Structure 1
């Protein structure tokens, strides 16, 4: 079993040489050797030696890769100790361990000499994160009255699945490869399955399938990318009917309506994977530095569809940059949400009012960027854009909402929207919380109500912006 000596060099029974794979990671990130060396904390000449396989990877370099390229690290994970080291390093980077830094060589020795202990530590940290999420669900469930509606059950099912469904994702990727690109390919595939596509003039009905006649009517009011998504949804619902039904039936949902909603959601998931096949989309996202406008044009999808797809890039061994994604309506309600980062959204009600996504709702077609910091000290680069969906009729108001996408500041170099932000500035980040009921900040002027776990003190002789102290 390989280990690590006191000079950060792997002990020699099987040293890890991965120059070509490290070079591929650097190039995918669009970095020159100088920039990559700075990111890894080594000299350019030392990086060159590693890339030419003159030197092995060290624990210090592995630690830096785990921090800056955690989902690329799978490409060079040659053995179980390396995977264990990366997972332990990621766990120790949790803010709960702030102030108790462990040197890379010390961690490497623990991983090598006490693998069972390291595995239990990693599992314990994962259980802690799950418990934190469950506690938040319980607290917000009490606020909402206790029970979850079918819509909320389905939303939480996708969250607990990591917003990634491997069977459907790989099946859609394979189907996309056979079909080729363009609406014509989708229409032909539907025709082969006995479905004829027509136009529906009712702006209130976006899609209607007449099973008896084999006729799919799509609203003429929809923009081209939305009509294309409707075609993909119907094709996915037919092509993957059996796995969708099996997943929905086996899900721990309380009602038939929730299972039907999950089946619709799974068909939508497969449709997104069909229009944006995993490996092609992941590669393009990295090449474009997650520029949504470039991605939407490249794949002929909508801005929201491209954002949502980025949040699903969770395939084991080929993950994308971890992103959070949400959609917020004019009233501040979060109607879609998922996070592959440490940031978690409130399950009921709205998000923190200091978050720019609320302002973006009122300013359509303008991209707003923001650096935010959550109470645990983690910083995120956030992008938000207001969108308007035309109704197709003067008698019906258009739908207005905003979508937000972001990543942890550690990935700022891979996120084009961070270019205009001083990510490292001491006062640059806006302090936000999850929701007022869960936020511990005592000095927030935007607080709507106190946190659920704190008592308040009221002084009738003093009136501050918030009329109580925590």
Structure 2
């Protein structure tokens, strides 16, 4: 057996300590090391041992990324794959995984690739099952579904656009970026004037851009955070037009409408990245344990915008917590969704009725939390809040919906909304599913439809909550 490679990562370790504003004594105490030993590690006088690497991963789970691109990379991906409940009966100790990754790196890589292919096939099977169960002919995708799935496949993060927006934010050099500065940039950089809509008794588009006249008209009734977002949207649409066009050109979309929708979606992504620049937003989110109200105050954005931005923090080498995010309307339709976790949303129809997001729609401006468990045994901490967007007139109904944000329980310590939940209790978790048609649970009192892939039995002389038994 070839000798185990020793890992020297002094500069990475020192950069990690400085990024968290820790002195050597504080860092050593956090890792359970002596100051002299830590100094030797930072100066590459000693290698990073597996025990030290484990301590770093425990203390800095989102930041510790060993500079070794070989065995450590294989080990990280192998550990992520084997965390799937599908392999619950397999040994997951670090020593066993290290041995597999180091002795058989090719086999470890193929195992990871096979698992990724399995997850993709499962997602495709769920999509097909939903299409059959929902009656959608052929499971064909509408233009907005094409774009939604494109963002999902991209991990809800578009690196060239995100980085270009961050550079643009550095140019503006303000936090939060005020409306006046965005209006000034539109005028001086692109010759665009901004005006508010006129007659308040008449419904107006939220945003209208007249390219020939260089005139941007915004509905005067919209909330300030929405107005700021539309100003940012227009600025990045013009300032980053070439970058957006290149990404759109490389996207494999079928219809012209889908490509135009993608342009809008990319501009929205860029607007969020302009108002909430990646590095500063990620650091602020971690410092306040992802307290969304505090993030809204610092960056001058809405609750929904901050939640959405948290779900996009997937930059390689500087990832945020893997979150799922969705928006649900009064009818239970999922109108916006993304998941960086193992939780996947229903492609057709609504979400599980046991999920707290449905209750949040009916209770605006109150944050609800929930510990939930999916049929595969993975548990999540969910936060949901009902929101109301005013219309500006009694004659126009306000928009009512709820947003939800959540993560797997292994990140609960960094998610302020998990405080007070009994994470360790198995009985405390609410059993949820993707949707009734895809959920295998046979004892759910809230089931609306039987599973699409299971037979049922009906006993005329027996009635329980639902009039059948799932076989």
For normalisation by structure 1, the TM-score amounts to: 0.90
Residue 356 (1) aligns with residue 356 (2): yes
Residue 102 of structure 1 and its aligned partner are, at CA, apart by 3.2
Residue 190 (1) aligns with residue 186 (2): yes
Count of matched residue pairs: 453
Residue 393 of structure 1 and its aligned partner are, at CA, apart by 1.1
Give distance in 1, aligned partners of 2:382 and 2:220. Answer: 34
The residue aligned with 1:81 is: 71
Say which SS state the counterpart of residue 135 (structure 1) adopts: helix
Say which SS state the counterpart of residue 213 (structure 1) adopts: coil
Contact 2:30–2:59 (CA under 8 A) maintained in structure 1: no
**Residues 317-361 of structure 1 deviation map (CA, whole Å, 9 limit, x = unaligned):** 111011000000000000000000111111111110000100000
**Residues 6-35 of structure 1 deviation map (CA, whole Å, 9 limit, x = unaligned):** xxxxx464455665356468779xxx8799
**Inter-CA distance 340–64: structure 2 relative to 1 (3 Å threshold):** farther
Residue 249 of structure 1 and its aligned partner are, at CA, apart by 3.3
**Inter-CA distance 2–21: structure 2 relative to 1 (3 Å threshold):** farther
Contact 1:307–1:325 (CA under 8 A) maintained in structure 2: yes
The residue aligned with 2:82 is: 92
The residue aligned with 2:145 is: 152
Residue 391 (1) aligns with residue 385 (2): no
Give distance in 2, aligned partners of 1:411 and 1:156. Answer: 26
The residue aligned with 1:7 is: none
The residue aligned with 1:20 is: 14
Give distance in 1, aligned partners of 2:39 and 2:407. Answer: 28
The answer to which of 16-25 and 205-214 deviates more is 16-25
Give distance in 2, aligned partners of 1:132 and 1:35. Answer: 44
Give distance in 2, aligned partners of 1:228 and 1:287. Answer: 25
**Inter-CA distance 2–377: structure 2 relative to 1 (3 Å threshold):** farther
The answer to which of 246-255 and 167-176 deviates more is 246-255
Instruction: Give runs of aligned pairs for residues 395-410 of structure 1, distance below 5 A.
Output: 395-410=395-410
Give distance in 2, aligned partners of 1:125 and 1:98. Answer: 14
The answer to which of 339-348 and 59-68 deviates more is 59-68
**Residues 239-278 of structure 1 deviation map (CA, whole Å, 9 limit, x = unaligned):** 1212222322332222211111111111111000010011
Residue 59 (1) aligns with residue 50 (2): yes
Contact 2:327–2:403 (CA under 8 A) maintained in structure 1: yes
The residue aligned with 1:137 is: 127
Contact 2:157–2:312 (CA under 8 A) maintained in structure 1: yes
Contact 2:28–2:38 (CA under 8 A) maintained in structure 1: no
Residue 164 (1) aligns with residue 161 (2): no
The answer to which of 202-211 and 232-241 deviates more is 202-211
Say which SS state the counterpart of residue 456 (structure 2) adopts: coil
Give distance in 1, aligned partners of 2:395 and 2:226. Answer: 21
Give distance in 2, aligned partners of 1:100 and 1:51. Answer: 38
CA-based RMSD: 2.5
Give distance in 1, aligned partners of 2:427 and 2:46. Answer: 40
List alignment gaps of at least 5 residues for structure 1: 4-10, 38-43
Give distance in 1, aligned partners of 2:59 and 2:459. Answer: 48
The residue aligned with 1:41 is: none
The residue aligned with 2:63 is: 72
List alignment gaps of at least 5 residues for structure 2: none
**Residues 369-421 of structure 1 deviation map (CA, whole Å, 9 limit, x = unaligned):** 00000111111100000000001111110000000001110000100000121
Say which SS state the counterpart of residue 457 (structure 2) adopts: coil
Residue 298 of structure 1 and its aligned partner are, at CA, apart by 0.3
User: Structure 1: which 4+ aligned runs deviate by more than 6 Å?
Assistant: 25-28, 32-35
The residue aligned with 2:452 is: 452
Contact 2:28–2:34 (CA under 8 A) maintained in structure 1: no
Give distance in 2, aligned partners of 1:322 and 1:108. Answer: 24
Say which SS state the counterpart of residue 86 (structure 1) adopts: helix
Give distance in 2, aligned partners of 1:269 and 1:350. Answer: 25
Residue 180 of structure 1 and its aligned partner are, at CA, apart by 2.0
Residue 114 of structure 1 and its aligned partner are, at CA, apart by 1.3
Contact 1:20–1:52 (CA under 8 A) maintained in structure 2: no
The residue aligned with 1:316 is: 316
Residue 62 of structure 1 and its aligned partner are, at CA, apart by 4.2
Residue 429 of structure 1 and its aligned partner are, at CA, apart by 0.5
Contact 1:203–1:392 (CA under 8 A) maintained in structure 2: no
The residue aligned with 1:8 is: none
Give distance in 2, aligned partners of 1:26 and 1:125. Answer: 35
Contact 1:67–1:90 (CA under 8 A) maintained in structure 2: no
**Residues 111-164 of structure 1 deviation map (CA, whole Å, 9 limit, x = unaligned):** 112111111112112212211111112222222332211111111111111101
Contact 1:23–1:51 (CA under 8 A) maintained in structure 2: no
**Inter-CA distance 26–353: structure 2 relative to 1 (3 Å threshold):** farther
Residue 200 (1) aligns with residue 213 (2): no
The residue aligned with 1:371 is: 371
